[in-house]
Amino acid sequence: MKKLLFITPIILLFLFLAMCEKESESSPGTIRFVKTEPGGCNLEDTDVLATRDGSLSEEQDTLLFTIINDTLDAYVGINYICCAPFTTEAMISTDSIFITISDTCPSPYQTCYCRCMCYYTWDFLFVDFENKEYYFKIVLYDPREEDPIVFKEGMLDLTNI
């Protein structure tokens, strides 16, 4: 009887831990953000950029959604002032994808920026998506602007892939 009283709490603890682990895993079909891969001017040396005068790119602002294997790639490219420091974030809410790109330059702003325009890119990677429609919104936070800038917004239709 004493062995049973000793073993029962241990078994219950293992069952509780196993249930918690299952609940923390995302359910199948729930889109999940994996990571962001920066590119373009994000990878350039700011010392080199600071010596340039003019534009490093003639690219247009871009948003491309592609699927490679089991990964949804939201490729975002923007023309923006050189040497800007950025942070990014992606959030999922039900059937919606929210991406934020934030210029983190503190005031006075001229301490961050160089005298040229650059083409910054990011690949936002997602997995576990379903073949359905997703609402998306990409917002740019520019500290020189009073309000956030909606870069792109709309519906992403994955029903015909």
Least confident among 7-11, 128-132, 138-142, 156-160:
7-11
Residue 61 in any domain: the answer is: yes
Task: Identify the pLDDT of residue 55.
Answer: 54
Phi (first) and psi of residue 48, to 5 degrees? -70, -40
What would the pLDDT profile of 25-84 be if each residue is shown by its tens digit?
A: 445 568 999 999 999 988 876 555 555 555 555 679 999 999 999 999 999 999 999 999
Strands 71-81, 86-93: pairing is unpaired
Residue 14 in any domain: the answer is: no
Residue 15 in any domain: the answer is: no
* Domain encompassing residue 49: 26-157
Strands 149-157, 71-81: pairing is unpaired
**Minimal CA–CA distance to 96: which of 30, 25, 27, 28?**
30
Q: Token match 């083409």: residue?
A: 119
- How many helices (H) and strands (E) in the chain? 2, 9
Residue 8 in any domain: the answer is: no
Task: Identify the pLDDT of residue 113.
Answer: 87
Residue 129 in any domain: the answer is: yes
Task: Count the domains in the chain.
Answer: 1
Task: Identify the pLDDT of residue 120.
Answer: 95
Task: Identify the pLDDT of residue 19.
Answer: 47
Residue 30 in any domain: the answer is: yes
Question: Model confidence at 149, in pLDDT bands (50, 70, 90)?
Answer: very high
Task: Identify the pLDDT of residue 48.
Answer: 57
On whether the CB atoms of residues 64 and 57 are closer than 8 A, the answer is no
Residue 7 in any domain: the answer is: no
Residue 128 in any domain: the answer is: yes
